[in-house]
Structure 1
Amino acid sequence: MKKILAAFGLGLILAMPVQASGPAAVLDRAPVSLDAASLQAGAKLFVNYCLGCHGASALRYNHLTQIGLTEQQIKDNLMFTADKVGGQMLTAMRMEDAKRWFGAAPPDLSLIARAKASASGSGADWLYTYLRQFYRDDSRPTGWNNVLFPGVGMPHALWELQGEQQARFVTRDDGQGNQVQHFEGLEIVRPGKLTKEEYDAEVANLVSFMVWMAEPGQESRRAIGWVVLAVLGVLALLSWLLKRAYWKDVH
């Protein structure tokens, strides 16, 4: 139940617009990889930490064969919310329970990597930055806050992996006589199961999976696009040669 409650906030907040005030947030560049190993690791994290509360209804379990998994591997390791491998990746939480516990049903995460794209960066950059900037804040109902999304209403779903961070703030004058809190940085005060580098890599895998999940056919689409461009290039060359041969006597 603790993991379910923690994971619930992930999609709920990610599906909402950023509400931080002031200048646009600086996003870290997400090292997105569509390599099969990265996507498989991301799928494992998604199933274990997100799918308990959030569905990915646009994706079916057998779509995971596209990232190098066999149907048997999917059944044995990743399929917890469906009876058939062709079933949708739906949440294990019943919607009526979610509404009773939280007041609203958890949102679907199928397109979250595309929905968070903004002028500040891609949706992947936003997710990658967001999932690495939680810190302990006893003034919040959940005990957690986030640098990218101040006043965030969700707990840190991956805190066991990252550990607990503490934010450093200093009070400064904003030039108009107002004393404001200025963020200085984050530091680990209670280590998690992973080192900083390991945690960043795992978040990158999770974000990569969310990027792939938002458009599973993007690699084949790009491959087809290059073939189409090559064919058009050949046709353009043939057209130019035909035109030159046709008009050579005129010129």
Structure 2
Amino acid sequence: MAGSLGVAIVTGASRGIGAATARLAARAGYAVVVNYSADDGGASQVVRSITAAGGLAQAVKADVSSPDDVRALFDAAQAMGRVRAVVNNAAITGDMIGPLVDVPPDVVRRVLDVNVAGMLFMCQEAQRRMSTATGGSGGGIVNISSTAVKAGSPGTWVHYAASKGAVDVLTVGFAAEAAAHGIRVNAVSPGATNTGLHAAAGAPDRVARQAHLVPLGRGGEPEEVAAAVMWLLSDEASYVTGAILPVAGGR
């Protein structure tokens, strides 16, 4: 059932950057595991769009902040073939915008659980399954960071920006460890991108309001971020690991 390039797991793939990446991965030749935590309809739609175009995909519900769910996610992927690519896209803001002092403790904990611990669990399991030292095929991991790390998102998402700062550190450190296992680890750092993340936080026009701050004069599209992810997973990036690639219109 595996695609010609093996299996790709894309977390948080029921919408936005994850959905766009899942579609591009299928087009490139991967069998795709469309991971999601709650949006059954969105994940099913992504799978339908892939299979309608002749690709292979299945939706797998799993909370990446749960190590048990992560193991089950990889089990489902391996039932399709050898895992060769993992895109760690699942992330939340806590569905709120405001200064750090107003962020409730439960939101802080949940954001760190999903955005940081979840990515760590995914990377750990990816090495266990993909390592050439233990019979795996190697491959690539791409973590989705954010240019929010640069300024810290004061007044809006300091808690989210802090979680993405951890993603950058994870990417650099884990890349050095995973190289000996035949695994390249990189990150893409999107700027303001037209996804449902902003609407979920109560600011559907946030990207449009920030467009004047971007040298290219507009927000990004999920497909543009997904294209960068796919380049990092491709053989064209075979000598690239530990990189954090901004896709932010120059901002």
- What is the TM-score of this pair, normalised by structure 1? 0.27
Higher RCO, 1 or 2 (CA under 8 Å, sep at least 6)? Answer: 1
Query: TM-score, normalised on structure 2?
Result: 0.27
From the two aligned structures, give the one with the greater helix fraction.
2
Look at both structures and tell me which one has the larger radius of gyration over its CA atoms: 1
